[in-house]
Amino acid sequence: MKTYIFFVSIRLVKYKKETKLRVLQIQDIKSLIEKIGHEKFTKELVKTLEEDYFKWETFDKTPRVANHVNGGVIELMPISDEVLYTFKYVNGHPKNPEQNKFTIMATGQLSKVSTGEPLMFCEMTLLTAFRTAANSVMAAKYLAKKDSQVLSLIGAGAQSEFQFLAFLYYFDLKEVRFYDVDIDAMNKFEKNMKKFNIKLTPCKNVEEAIQDADIITTCTADKSYQTILKKDMIKNDVYINAIGGDCPGKTELEKELVENSVVVCEFLEQCKIEGEIQQLAKDYVCTELYEIVRGEKTINVQTHGSVIFDSVGFAIEDYSVLRLVYELAKKYNIGTNMNLVPQIEDVKDLYSLL
């Protein structure tokens, strides 16, 4: 307990003097990744996620606030611990690509808890892809077979390359089998990833794509109860990283498959509303990821058969990426200080600004 209070005090002191609001745009994130490298950034993020999941009970957690709108959803994802508060604004509009707009777009903020001052405002469309892929592979380190060699990707949209690369950094992959209903998306994935020395196998359907797979990532976008994977299609024990079912009425796995597999989720309270397990009974309970990270429970495909990581994306993942990016932005002097919070002599005299 004493050590814990000591570390909280150190962190509080660390942020005490910081008052400027740093704004990070797309080009800032791009130059950060260029400086650090995609692999190193992903690995640092996995480490940061593990640190934060490890201190799960210190976070003030809530399921995200979702406004369901025609054709999509707009969500706010807040979370805080004793030192930092973050939130992400994110949408999910699966038909947006028809207008050449992203399905997912996001921005985020990091603030100091002691005074509420915003410290950073940041693009998060790219960062969401990074943090989702890092979270997927962090879970896979515990849940998938260590010697996994074949990755299957269903859905070759915006998230797909980030997913593939994160798995490539942690597993000795020999082959990636991929399928998307959109042939252009498949061609784009192949073009982007062909420089990596891995066998890329485009497939004609899901059945072909999941042949001999050790790990399956489903990252499709469609606001409906899809059955991309059905129980009868799964022939070998496999790790299923299901990230595309993340909203009420938006799932990717057949109910029978979910019922008959071991399931791990991020935050049960949120996942029961948004995840694959929304299809199961209201009192359904499964393991949460923090229990795995802390070693309180051990689950692996080798010992438990097929395991589903029912990922919907939880605010702690945005907290981790924002806190990491903030530290790196300071270190490399990236971003722009912006005057979005008034700085005046007499704070009671707000009127003097006009």
**Which parts of this chain interact with ligand NAD (CB under 6 A)?**
92, 94, 97, 103-104, 128, 132, 154-159, 179-182, 185, 219-222, 226, 228, 243-244, 246, 311-313
Token look-up 């979370």 returns 79
CA distances from 31 to 24, 128, 175 (A): 11, 17, 30
Q: Which lies closer to ligand NAD via its Cβ, residue 21 or residue 123?
A: 123
Least spacing, CB of residue 11 vs ligand NAD, in Å = 26
Other Cβ atoms less than 10 A from the Cβ of 105: the count is 18
| DSSP 8-class letter at 247 | B
Token look-up 């930092």 returns 84
Other Cβ atoms less than 10 A from the Cβ of 125: the count is 16
Q: Which lies closer to ligand NAD via its Cβ, residue 271 or residue 328?
A: 271
- Indicate if the alpha-carbon torsion angle 233, 234, 236, 241 is positive or negative: positive
Q: Which lies closer to ligand NAD via its Cβ, residue 68 or residue 330?
A: 68
Q: What is the side-by-side strand order in the sheet with 118-123?
A: 65-69, 72-80, 84-92, 106-112, 118-123, 21-24, 336-338
Token look-up 């990581």 returns 309
Query: Which position's Cβ is nearest ligand NAD?
Result: 157
Q: Which lies closer to ligand NAD via its Cβ, residue 113 or residue 273?
A: 273
Which residues are catalytic, by number? Answer: 246
Least spacing, CB of residue 343 vs ligand NAD, in Å = 36
Least spacing, CB of residue 191 vs ligand NAD, in Å = 14
Least spacing, CB of residue 6 vs ligand NAD, in Å = 33
